[in-house]
Structure 1
Amino acid sequence: MESTLENPMITKSDKPQFSRTNPFQAKVLKNINLNGTDSSKETRHLELSLKGSGLSYVPGDALGIVPENDPELVASLIKEMGWNEEEIVSVGKLEETLPLKAALSTYCEITLLTKKILQQAAAFTENEELQKLILLENAGELKEYCYGRDLIDMLRDFGPWKASAQEIVSLLRKMTPRLYSIASSIAAHPDEVHLTIGAVRYTSYGRDRKGVCSVQCSERVLEGDTLAVFVQANKHFYLPESGETDIIMVGPGTGIAPFRSFIEERAVNKGTGRTWLFFGDQHAATDFLYEDELKKYQQDEVLTKLDTAFSRDSDQKVYVQHKMLEYSKELFEWMNSGAYFYVCGDKERMAKDVNDTLVTVIEKEGAMTRDEAEAYLKDLQKQGRYQRDVY
């Protein structure tokens, strides 16, 4: 029997096990903007190499990225407080020591505020406004203050501070990895993982804000650079065991990501089940993510049906749920004959609207009461035939 080990002296357990606590440095093979030049959005398609990592994944899994803070934001913070960037500070439970600039760049969460941070920071200032804000009866105002603000806002609003750099750093949480739905099938792209990341940029309280990881990927990660990554399994979002089972996928915007992996997997494994994708975004001309690929899959009959909703292309805003209603009879027929139904994307609005629309479709086409339709959908969920990957 042939040995599977490259070096007989190395056992499998000696090989590095890459994980959340020990991420793999994945080389960036490709980083392109999927949106057209006149789009108001920027969606990056990243291709990363997993060669030599031993990492694997299945469609539906997520990739974690351990990000770094924006160097401009870190510089502003150090300047604001008059700190020395070379000063050695300790971070975390293990009291790891790092120069201040490195700690603020790679270890500390500086773009999010919490109630706890403000409560603890109050010990380092006599600012009356902050002392008042942290009172129990002002819990609502405190929560509101935290939303959309960051560490610099707090330091500017509630000084003067009687705190060392170490004392402020000790208030901060460890940077959390950002999770993204994987947009590729490892069967189609051995040793690679692809992501679809929308760059988050907005203005609040008079300052421009940037998503920590999404803007790192769009502005500062070039081909040839590396990103610290790990695979996060998703036990609640997966393809049916049988390639003969029909699947319905609703994924507007970056919600398309896991469905690109589903479709690639079906293409490679020659699945015979029908596939139906609902995709939506703002403008067909600039925001139809993976358009050429999807149309090719349609031609090759890997993708049975593709229905799109571009909300800004008509006077009346059309969303994916409107398309579902348009095809309600067929949608119910697919579901009634065993199809799995998937939703990926925005939890606050889209997923809720899609869920309500699905109940309406079942109610109408199944000639049920609202309660019966909701029970029908709950039953689908119990069977694992209604799955959501929402954020």
Structure 2
Amino acid sequence: MRILMICTEKLPVPNIRGGAIQTYIGGVAELLSRQHSITVIGRSDPELPQEETRGGVRYLRFPSDGLLDVYMDHVIPYLAQNEETYDVIHIFNRPRLVLPVASVRPSTRIVLSMHNDMFNSMKLSREEGEAVVERVDTIITISNYIGAVICRDYPQAEPKIRTIYSGVDLGKFAPWKQSASAQRDREAIRSKHQLGNKKVILFVGRLSRNKGPHVLIRAMSSLRHSDAVLVIVGAAWYSDNRISDYIAYLKALAEKSPIPVLTTGYVQANEVHQWFCAADVFVCTSIWEEPLARVHYEAMAAGLPLVTTARGGNPEIIRNNNGVIISNPEDPEEYAGALNRLLGDAGNARQMGLHGRKLVEDHFTWSHVAGNVQEVWSEASNRPIEAVSDSTGGGEGTEGGVEG
């Protein structure tokens, strides 16, 4: 089949500047290109050509300035003028793109992948949301939670919802006791940052209040393991090491912590796996209703026990004793209790990590994800053309939300 994948306007693909959606597309596109002709549209970047083919995938890039309207002003005219046909157009996380794309490709089947709640009334008008649900063949969601949120407002979407969890590269993220390269990365990182044999508690993510790292720093006051260190990997935004007010607040908290706190700033996407290799336990502190943070998959692939929160889709990843769920993510004492138990029982923590690794091997590799996506494409392409709605009008809606 001939497939067009349209990424969001925020970050380029491949994921040279990070981004969960960009990582997702990069993880599956080359695998899918072995059986299909894949074109990926994304935003332009000074370090990437406007057009190129790599790994069997054709990439087209358009200016966006990080704004969807600017992006659409380039993408839609291109699709209107370009005579190349596609069996399926797969749009990522931007329901507002669906109707403009459909208006210039009225007979093409459209699949929509949702990584965030972009259907809510602050981002999409009710009228446009209903038209989008009618027009698309399938709505892929990265968690059951996101599917449920969409169906809460649009019950008619339920037959079209399909949860496909994200994936991870098992070669890059590996338990250090089972991988020579992971062990080298662990030793190199620990040596560079004078971590020695300390018990490393790891947080990886964008540094914003709704991600909750300030609660984790406060939890260090009740940690009973003086040989521990908290490592916070991330920045306020991808590829941006500016000190926001919140990051300044985190640094002030860290200076008062009885347990050392190391903040790394932004780490390149192709280097962040080294920190997972260096860690002993991974903590996701999301306070908001997180769709399902992809860092969970990376931590599990690295053989780390998880501590995550009962928010959004995050609890869906805790299975078969691979981690602990924090019921109140704003309570430092609950984190401290969970970490004290994990760091105090290395054998149990290791078993949790091994369970997580096995879970990833069985369900969350990029091969699994690509296979599931291919099923969706095949089902869409095999439907009679009459099943494709001719609803191609569209309103402007309201842009907003956080890039996934």
- TM-score band, normalised by the shorter chain? under 0.3
TM-score, normalization by structure 2: 0.23
TM-score, normalization by structure 1: 0.24
Greater share of strand residues, 1 or 2?
1
